[in-house]
Amino acid sequence: MKAIRKFTVRAVLPESLAALDELAGNLRWSWHEPTRQLFEHIAPELWRRIGTDPVALLGAVDPARLVELADDRDYVAGVNRVRDDLRAYLTEPRWYQDLAGAKPESIAYFSPEFGIAAALPQYSGGLGILAGDHLKSASDLGVPLVGVGLFYKAGYFSQAISTDGWQLESYPLLDPDGLPLSVLRRADGSPVQVSLAMPEDRTLHARVWEARVGRIRLLLLDTDIPENTDELRLVTDRLYGGGGEHRLLQELLLGIGGARAVRLWSNLNGRAEPEVFHTNEGHAGFLGLERISSLIGEGLSFAEALQVVRAGTVFTTHTPVAAGIDRFESSLVRRYFETDLLPGVAVNDLLGLGAENYPGGSPDVFNMAVMGLRLGQHANGVSKLHGEVSRQMFSGLWPGFDASEVPITSITNGVHAPTWTDPALKALAQNRLGTSDTSTADWTSPAVSDEDLWDVRGDMRRQFVEDARRRIAAAWLVQNPGGLVPAWINQVFDPNVLTIGFARRVPTYKRLTLMLHDPERLRALLLHPDHPVQIVIAGKSHPADDEGKRLIQKIVQFAADPELRTKIAFLPDYNIGMAQLMYPGTDVWLNNPLRPLEACGTSGMKAALNGALNLSILDGWWPEYFDGQNGWAIPSADASINPAERDRLEADALYELIEHQVAPPFYDRDGDGVPVRWVANIRKTLAGLSPELNAGRMVREYVEKLYRPAGASEARLSGNNYRGARELAAWKQRIGAAWPGVAVEHVESGGVAPVPQVGDALRLRAHVQLNGLDPEDVTVQVVYGKSSGGDDLTDVSTQSLAAIDDTLGQDATTTAVYGAPTLFTGTVELDRAGGFGYTVRVVPRNDLLASAAEMGLVAVAN
């Protein structure tokens, strides 16, 4: 019989153990080892079986066991001690509180998914895991974030594999009452709801769940409530499910509903409303429109409100390909906004923000990333290489500027070390180095011997092998109900063999099956008599991506060979619980995407935090940190060649590296059985990469490079009844109206010898038509750099020219008003030999602009 409804009944805790409920209700347990150990002690086997979930454990444990523990003075004392530690963690000043100078009181962080713990399955892959790690690190640092997302009734999906290797999806419904969540309520106990006007006079309602992630609150909006029609109850049914209109509804709820929920939460808790809004990808971009609508309600025009919103918005793009961006038909967006959804916002103004009105764009499409960039004065990619790719990809929004000047910076992702570092490695650091913080421990210290490191790496590998066998056995029973688990499954993987891991989402560009390009070559590596390797693979393909599913099928079918099935395996239903054992249990982490399509790729970071070495294409984060000793770089073939030939060349390079450079040093042991060269590289990885790959470094960069500047900009525009916003909007309107008539009419040069030499001073006089603008409204620059065969400059620098007050006998302002050109002069020292070129250009100037390119206006000398 199947239940029509399921819910979790929690045990009544003895009074002396009441603190367990407080500890279970805060997701800090997902990364705080002492808290996890307290719950594991209650019922170790049950703890492992339910997936290390305190709420589920307290709902399933025998009450008699709780009574027994209530009489254990040492256990009760331990519970209270950890509870007191949590309370101190939540209230004591941390890094952010000690920062000098102005800083935002509150920052809202929006994401469509959050991967915090396996017990809260609201994530699909890297974007969600990053968002979860961002919240955790913000909590550790004391950054005053509030997270905003959606509560998906069925999460992403559970993955099974059919007997022929095809991915099967199922969507188990989640019981929010059995999760570490509580309903956000008003002072009178009534639940908070947000409502959005819909076409056909419908209304979408959502309740708000609240999760405690250390010091951070995470608000999750849920439409599965009686106030909605059956159709609208399904808006938050699945993560990334449904077609275009369903996705649009989810993103309207996330952005507009999320912004309203944050405002309500702030008021209910006596908190300052956020000054800075961070959108993790474009999915939440509609939050900016909700803020504009609210500001229009305070008396601002659309243009004035836009300045305030832009100043305080941070937009992070994660995709290096246009196909990865959410795009909707403009007619569909228009239909949803020709309602009372956003009072005061004209639909055409709104549509203009997402319009692809640039060369190569589609006039009938509304682009969420484009809107994110137009609504966010502060934007970034997620690795240095991805920043370069993003500046090129979105350069059409800033015509006339080189891609290098596009105002998109980069902050390389990081991962939350306490979450992803194995307890065994933390214990080694504590015992030998006096700290459990593995990202700051001195791994070069002789206090940790090579034997120590090698032993703990072996323990982590054995732990993973045992878990992998359990998972393979469970998957076999799903395929063969009632059968007996075959004996060969107990021989899957050898804890003494070099183990390579590959786990991530399975879009085609990540090339899951590159390792299969030459099956016989791979077979030889797996079965090598002296230097064998074993490979563990995991990952989910989007339910609509049949090509990704075919890649999984090829791997599963290859691994089904009786000679190979103990050497290579695909583990179904990849999730946080599996990952936390896989990363520490592998010796090498493989990553072989098509360069430069990996924006960052944090799986290899998690492996590195545990001493695994990376074997990767130089894409994402790896080009920044590969030093020749902390892993291996797979050479990339020329992107312009035939794709099949590119795969062949890079697969051959992969095989060569594994056979000749990766495997031999793993098996090259000293008299004590320790691979000294290999352990030296482990030590170098832990010492050099751990501090850099830690999400704490990432969040600190967000604070200093983006949050504080955004907060300062927002404050300047909002102060004195939005005086700055009103003035900036009027100034931009004046500049935009005059700009078609701005031109560099003539440039004169002199001061260099007939044969220019290093040290010569190039004197420039530029006559600029300002079309009624003041010289203070613009910057006139000489742009100079290396000149080679073509007209393009490289290694470019800029230098401002100064306006001359007396041009043709009139001051500069007068000549601008009456139409005569204004003279700007300056000098450039020739400080290097070789080809040299220059031009002169005019760009808008205002202290409230984040960059000269912000308005996309430039006039260049012909």
DSSP letter string over 146-206? EEEEE--TT-S-EEEE-TTS-EEEE-PPP-GGGSS-EE-B-TTSPBPEEEEEETTTEEEEE
H or E stretch at 837: strand 836-844
- Non-local CB neighbours of 196 within 8 Å, separated by 6+ positions: 203, 204, 206, 252, 253, 256, 257, 341
Residue 780 backbone phi and psi in degrees, to 5 = -100, 125
**Residue 188 is encoded by which pair of tokens?**
């009178």
d(C-alpha 625, C-alpha 636), whole Å: 17
Instruction: Choose among 181, 176, 246, 252: nearest CA to 219.
Output: 181
pTM comes to 0.95
Q: Confidence band (pLDDT; 50, 70, 90) for 612?
A: very high
Instruction: Choose among 599, 628, 600: nearest CA to 614.
Output: 628
Query: How many percent of the chain have pLDDT more than 70?
Result: 97
The answer to whether 450 and 674 have CB atoms below 8 angstroms apart is yes
What are the DSSP E strand ranges found in 573-645?
588-591, 613-617, 631-634
Question: β-pairing, 216-222 with 313-316?
Answer: unpaired
d(C-alpha 299, C-alpha 313), whole Å: 21
* Cα of 764 vs its chain's centroid, Å: 46
Residue 354 pLDDT > 50: yes
The answer to whether 118 and 51 have CB atoms below 8 angstroms apart is yes
Task: Calculate mean pLDDT across residues 430-451.
Answer: 96
Instruction: Please identify which residue in the block is written with the tokens 């007068």.
Output: 814
Q: Confidence band (pLDDT; 50, 70, 90) for 1?
A: low
Instruction: Please identify which residue in the block is written with the tokens 């106030």.
Output: 227
Residue 208 backbone phi and psi in degrees, to 5 = -125, 120
| Angle (CA) 737 741 746, round 5° | 150
**Residue 235 is encoded by which pair of tokens?**
């808006």
Task: Calculate mean pLDDT across residues 528-554.
Answer: 96
d(C-alpha 715, C-alpha 473), whole Å: 58
What are the DSSP E strand ranges found in 275-398?
276-280, 313-316, 327-329, 365-367, 378-381
pLDDT tens figures, 708-727? 999 999 999 999 999 999 99
Instruction: Choose among 846, 851, 845: nearest CA to 717.
Output: 846
Q: Confidence band (pLDDT; 50, 70, 90) for 4?
A: low
Instruction: Please identify which residue in the block is written with the tokens 């983006």.
Output: 706
pLDDT of residue 406: 97
> If 0-12 CB within 10 Å is exposed, 13-18 middle and 19+ buried, where does residue 321 land?
middle
**Residue 73 is encoded by which pair of tokens?**
């003075």
Instruction: Please identify which residue in the block is written with the tokens 């107990």.
Output: 490
How would you classify residue 404: left for phi > 0, otherwise alpha for psi between -120 and 50, otherwise beta? Answer: alpha
Instruction: Choose among 518, 514, 510, 474: nearest CA to 492.
Output: 474
601-605 long-range CB contacts below 8 Å, 24 or more apart? Answer: 601/126, 601/504, 602/126, 602/129, 602/130, 602/133, 602/413, 602/414, 602/415, 603/126, 603/503, 603/504, 603/579, 605/413, 605/414, 605/415, 605/689, 605/693
**In 10 A of CB 363, how many CB atoms?**
8
pLDDT of residue 818: 46
Instruction: Choose among 738, 606, 819: nearest CA to 133.
Output: 606
d(C-alpha 418, C-alpha 424), whole Å: 12
pLDDT tens figures, 811-849? 444 444 547 899 999 999 998 888 898 999 999 999 999
Q: Edge-to-edge strand order for the sheet containing 743-750?
A: 743-750, 761-769, 822-829, 793-803, 778-787, 836-844, 859-860
Question: β-pairing, 276-280 with 409-410?
Answer: unpaired
The DSSP output letter for 707 is I
pLDDT tens figures, 27-55? 999 999 999 999 999 999 999 998 889 99
pLDDT tens figures, 376-408? 999 999 999 999 999 999 999 999 999 999 999
Exposed e or buried b for every residue in 824-847, given b needs 16+ CB within 10 A? bebebebeeeeebbbbbbbbbbbe
Task: Calculate mean pLDDT across residues 406-430.
Answer: 97
